[in-house]
Amino acid sequence: MPLLQVRGLTHYFGGLKAVANFNLDLEPGELVGIIGPNGAGKTTVFNLITGVYRPTEGQILLDGHNLVGLQPHAITNKGIARTFQTIRLFKDLSVLDNVRIACYSQVRYSPLAAFLHTQRFREEERQTREEALRLLDIFNLRRYAQAQAKNLPYGEQRRLEIARALATRPRLLLLDEPAAGMNPGEIQRLMELIQWLRREFQLTIILIEHQMRVVMGICERIQVLDFGETIAEGKPKEIQNHPRVLEAYLGKGVA
Amino acid sequence: MNRRWWLPLILALLFLLSILLPHFGILNLYLQQVLMYVGINIILTISLNLVNGYMGEFSVGHAGFMAIGAYISSLLTVWVFPKSWGPFVFPLVLILGGLGAALAGLIVAFPSFKTRGDYLAIVTLAFNMIIKSVLENIEAIGGPRGFMGMSKLTNVAWVYVWVLITIFAIRNFVFSAYGRGILSIREDEVAAELVSVNTRQTKILAFVISSFFAGIAGGLFAHVLQFINPRSFTILKSTDVLVMVYLGGIGSIMGSILGASIYTILLELLRPLGVWRWVVGPLLLVILMVTRPRGIMGLREARWLLPAEEVQADAAVTS
């Protein structure tokens, strides 16, 4: 059974059709890329899947269960996490707290237990901290644990965002242009990191990316959007020479 | 092994002093009164800081919650319980007043799901005005003339105890998953939801806890003054609390303690200036906002207020 099924997803901003009849079947463990020119509706698809917007039409099913209408945190708790095109860390908070906040729903103690500092509260807080530090270790961020997130170098901020997303214990990870603003060396390491994470955390991944090197290099399947419509889908090789894709990126007459 | 064995000791010593100094007349009645106002203002400031500082909303109706606590507790001590029971039921009465205020806080929390910033400020402003108008129009509790007949149940020791409860309750809350959820709302509400924070739940908690302690402060206030009227709880009173929050610094309990103490004592010292002293507060606020917009402590916390586990674990991380 597919992990994620998106059926006929359509979304309007006022009169503007941002996403039209978007369909996607995602098997567990797949790594799928979504590409397309600016304004093609890629990030809107992420916002619809994660519940930031409610779709005008269409169905989104995770393990066959409907996600449409749930609040974003409820969707996150069902196992979908994401990163953002422009970094959205909790800037004034510490790196450690950025990750600990993402453990919010794993906490079982009541507010009263927090007031009274009960044994259970202390034990769960200790576990949360350990979990967060473990993730920071994986991303080589532990030495920044006490630093304010905004003071981290750009590449580290990107990694912290992924660490924070993983703290919610997702099965499906949505990465929104993770390579934006990175140099070739950093991009290479990012590609290795994504593939390693996928194995290590048994993730299914949807990747939005402009860097063709990343998309062509690691995605098994690619879906191309233009003006909200899916204009092509297939293996990287097929997409590279697809006439409608070339047209969308370069204009008519090229193909 | 408690690294901070001296903290409970100092707090206990202060408690003894808060009983002994007034008892032996070392503190005269006027100084006692000033101390009690400082304490009540600390409770108000810390509780408002939870919503305005930690959560980053802008509530301007804190006096409304205070009024509810003040009236409920006063009605209970004057009408419900015999006067002789007063000292014994006082903690219960305060808590009931606090719960009444918390219920109002719950109601105000709901609009906060959909609105924030300026619009939520207007909602809280309207709430403050509604409370005042309602109190003015209920003849049975004195209407605009106010309500009296309370015994002077509040003393320095009680205020001190409630200040400690407020400090440690809110400190413990802020340094929990719920508290971190509140911080994440201030930083980026959408991102908070997307990393699993139930923002509605945390907003409700913040408003309910904040208004509960405002209600407690109202009850203490009513039983110092032994007379309350709706005009004590207008937007002006709310503004005073705002000044103390931003003077001391947002997102800091130590800041609130400092802000409330400095502002309250300063206004007392400036009493000879007469009406002019009311210019000082706002002027102070303007100067502060220009030169140090985050207040004295802004987003920093005094070390003694950090939970021991956090400090120890943090030290372990960096070593």
pLDDT the model gives residue A242: 87
Which residues share a beta bridge with B88? none
- Shortest alpha-carbon distance between residue A50 and chain B (Å): 7
d(CA B17, CA A43): 62
Residue A119: Cβ within 10 Å count: 10
pLDDT the model gives residue B203: 96
Contact partners, residue B6, CB within 8 Å, separation at least 6: none
Confidence of residue B292 (pLDDT cuts 50, 70, 90): confident
- CATH class of the domain comprising A4-79+170-250: alpha beta
Q: Where are the domains of chain A?
A: 4-79+170-250
Task: Give the residue ranges of chain A where pLDDT is below 50.
Answer: 255
Which residues share a beta bridge with A233? A223
Question: Does residue B205 belong to the interface with chain A, where contact is any CB pair within 8 Å?
Answer: yes
Whether residue B317 and residue A77 make contact (CB cut-off 8 A), yes or no, is no
pLDDT in tens, B187-220: 999 999 999 999 999 999 999 999 999 999 999 9
Whether residue B176 and residue A164 make contact (CB cut-off 8 A), yes or no, is no
Q: Which of A71, A115, A121 is facing B193, going by the closest CB pair?
A: A71
CA proximity to A36, closest of A241, A185, A226, A188: A226
Q: What is the mean pLDDT of residues B129-136?
A: 96
- Shortest alpha-carbon distance between residue A158 and chain B (Å): 14
Interface test with A, best of B4, B47, B186, B194 (most A CBs within 10 A): B194
Mean model confidence pLDDT for chain B: 91
Question: Does residue B185 belong to the interface with chain A, where contact is any CB pair within 8 Å?
Answer: no
pLDDT the model gives residue A134: 95
d(CA A102, CA A167): 6
Residue B46: Cβ within 10 Å count: 30
pLDDT in tens, B24-76: 888 889 999 999 999 999 999 999 999 999 999 999 999 999 999 999 999 99
Q: Which residues of B touch A142 (CB under 8 A)?
A: 317
Whether residue A146 and residue B314 make contact (CB cut-off 8 A), yes or no, is yes
Look up residue B221 and give its DSSP letter: H
pLDDT the model gives residue B1: 43
pLDDT in tens, B74-98: 999 999 888 888 788 999 999 999 9
Q: Which residues of B touch A116 (CB under 8 A)?
A: 172
pLDDT the model gives residue A248: 82
Confidence of residue B318 (pLDDT cuts 50, 70, 90): low
pLDDT in tens, B210-254: 999 999 999 999 999 999 999 999 998 999 999 999 999 999 999
pLDDT the model gives residue B113: 87
pLDDT the model gives residue A253: 65
User: If 0-12 CB within 10 Å is exposed, 13-18 middle and 19+ buried, where does residue B234 land?
Assistant: middle
Q: Which residue has the tokens 């110092």?
A: B224
